[in-house]
Amino acid sequence: MTDPTPCTVLDLVADPGVATELAHRLARELPDVLRGRGEGRWEVRVADEPIVLDERGALPALSIGDRVRDRDGADAVVLLTDLPRRADTDPVVADAGTAHRVGLVSLPALGALDQYRRCRDTVVRLVTRHLFPAGDRAGAGERSDAGRAGALTRLGQDTGGGRDGSGSAGVEDDVDVRLALPGLRGRLRLLAGLVRANRPWRLVPSLSPAIAAAAAGAAFGIFYSNIWELATALGTGRQVTVMLVALTGMTAWLILDNGLWESRRARSLREEMLLSNLSTVITVACGVLAMFALLFVLALVAAVLVVPPDYLGQKLMRPAGPDDWVMIAWLSTSMGTVAGALGSGFADDDAVRRAAYSRRERERRARLDDAEHDSGGRSGDGSGRGDRG
pLDDT one-digit tens code per residue, 65-90: 999 999 999 999 999 988 888 777 78
Type of residue at 144: S
Rounded distance, CA 153 to CA 130, Å?
Answer: 10
| C-beta of residue 356 within 8 angstroms of C-beta of residue 367 | no
| CA-wise closest residue to 101 among 81, 122, 130, 79 | 130
Cross-strand bridge partners of residue 11: 45, 77
- pTM exceeding 0.85: no
**pLDDT, position 344:** 62
**pLDDT, position 346:** 52
For 311, how many CA atoms within 13 A lie in the half-sphere containing its CB? 11
Q: How far is CA 59 from the centre of its chain?
A: 18
| C-beta of residue 218 within 8 angstroms of C-beta of residue 295 | yes
Task: Give the β-pairing of 85-87 and 386-387.
Answer: antiparallel
Task: Give the β-pairing of 90-97 and 85-87.
Answer: antiparallel
Burial class for 294, CB neighbours closer than 10 Å (0-12, 13-18, 19+)? middle
| C-beta of residue 98 within 8 angstroms of C-beta of residue 176 | yes
Rounded distance, CA 160 to CA 250, Å?
Answer: 35
Rounded distance, CA 221 to CA 101, Å?
Answer: 63
Residues of the chain predicted below pLDDT 70: 1-5, 56-57, 134-173, 264-271, 342-389
Q: What is the Rg, in whole angstroms, of the alpha carbon atoms belonging to the chain?
A: 26
Rounded distance, CA 249 to CA 217, Å?
Answer: 15
Sketch out the chain's domains with CATH numbers.
7-183 (3.40.50), 200-357 (no CATH)
Rounded distance, CA 344 to CA 335, Å?
Answer: 14
